[in-house]
Copies of this chain bind each other. A is one copy, B any other.
Amino acid sequence: MGFDLKEYLKEKQRLVNDALERFLPPVADPTRNLVESMRYSLFAGGKRLRPILCLGAAEALGKDPELCLPVACSLEMIHTYSLIHDDLPAMDDDDLRRGKPTNHVVFGEAMAILAGDGLLTEAFYVLSNHAENELINPTKLLEIIRVISEAAGCRGMVGGQTIDLESEGKKIEPSLLEQMHSRKTGALITAAVESGAVAAGADDEARKALIDYGKHFGLAFQITDDVLDVTGDSEEMGKPVGSDEAKNKSTFPALFGLEKAREKARFHVNRAVESLKLFDDKATPLRELVKYLLKRKK
């Protein structure tokens, strides 16, 4: 009752977008094209899911979510860099992302590589820039950098991307599929919630609960993403439907069938909600957000 998820998302997206504007260096010679290329993908219509999860975790703990806006923005920079590099011709070779030409199509391959490198590095600049993070003490901030870099690097996302790359065209075991997704998508989503928890000073129990929420959120997110790739509307999604199958990618529907995949998604959504049982109604946004995954169209 009374909680309007759509309105909540809109308000938080605005907050994140305004902060992202502040953090990037100006578009000016001699690196005009680099910064434009970074901005192009950063402002290409992302849902700001990871930043919102980070803010939502702080909110669930009763803290002002704006406390972790820089942390939230760093997560979006890392997410965006990973999309730019994933789309490269040598990787997934995608021309379209969110209905727009991908970075390398617009700026060329070399600039797309550099824009990704720039965004990834900038994320750590924002995280370590104490002037922007004075509400979080240095010990906590370091812990947040450790959590995020572990999730983003070879132990997490880059490792997951490697598994994805090497399984293309192969039928892989369900356990490897889950590991691939928990590293490729899940790790950064979990880090988003965990970093919000650390920023807000969560105790061990609350932190663990939010990490569990993040893990189930990540799996539910990936499964519903795979399902949408089979059943979704191309126009709504901004990319062709069936592209996973065309690329011979291992997906949950391909491995388990559509109905079983949907059931798995519901399971993880329920588990995510359950993880939050020790939180009061300040965790309503997190609860509604994960339930929304079952209804999403893009």
Which of A's residues lie within 8 Å of B, judged by CB?
25, 30-31, 33-35, 38, 81, 85, 88, 90-91, 108-111, 113-114, 116-118, 120-122, 124-125, 127-130, 138-139, 141-143, 145-146, 149-150, 152-155, 158-159, 161-163, 165-166, 176, 179-180
Contacts and interface: CB of A to CB of B under 8 A. Distances in A.
B109 A90 contact: yes
A292 to B, nearest CB: 30
Given A117-B120, A118-B158, A120-B121, 11 more contacts: A25-B154, A25-B155, A33-B162, A38-B154, A85-B114, A90-B109, A111-B165, A114-B161, A122-B153, A128-B142, A128-B149
Contact of A30 (B109, B118, B155, B163): B163
A176 B30 contact: yes
Contacts of A30: 159, 162-163, 166, 176, 179-180
Contacts of A152: 121
Majority-rule SS of A interface residues: helix
Nearest to A176: B30
A189 B31 CA distance: 20
30 contacts: A30-B163, A30-B166, A30-B179, A31-B159, A33-B166, A34-B159, A34-B162, A81-B117, A85-B113, A90-B108, A90-B109, A90-B113, A91-B113, A114-B158, A114-B161, A117-B120, A118-B159, A120-B121, A121-B154, A122-B149, A122-B154, A124-B124, A124-B149, A125-B150, A127-B145, A128-B142, A128-B146, A128-B149, A138-B139, A142-B142
Contacts of A85: 113-114, 117
A154 B24 CA distance: 9
Contacts of A138: 138-139, 141-142
A143 B127 CA distance: 11
A176 B29 CA distance: 11
A108 to B, nearest CB: 8
A154 to B, nearest CB: 4
Contacts of A118: 153-154, 158-159
A240 to B, nearest CB: 21
A98 B73 CA distance: 38
A106 to B, nearest CB: 14
A110 B129 contact: no
Contacts of A163: 30-31
Contacts of A121: 120, 149, 152-154, 158
Contact of A142 (B38, B90, B141, B158): B141
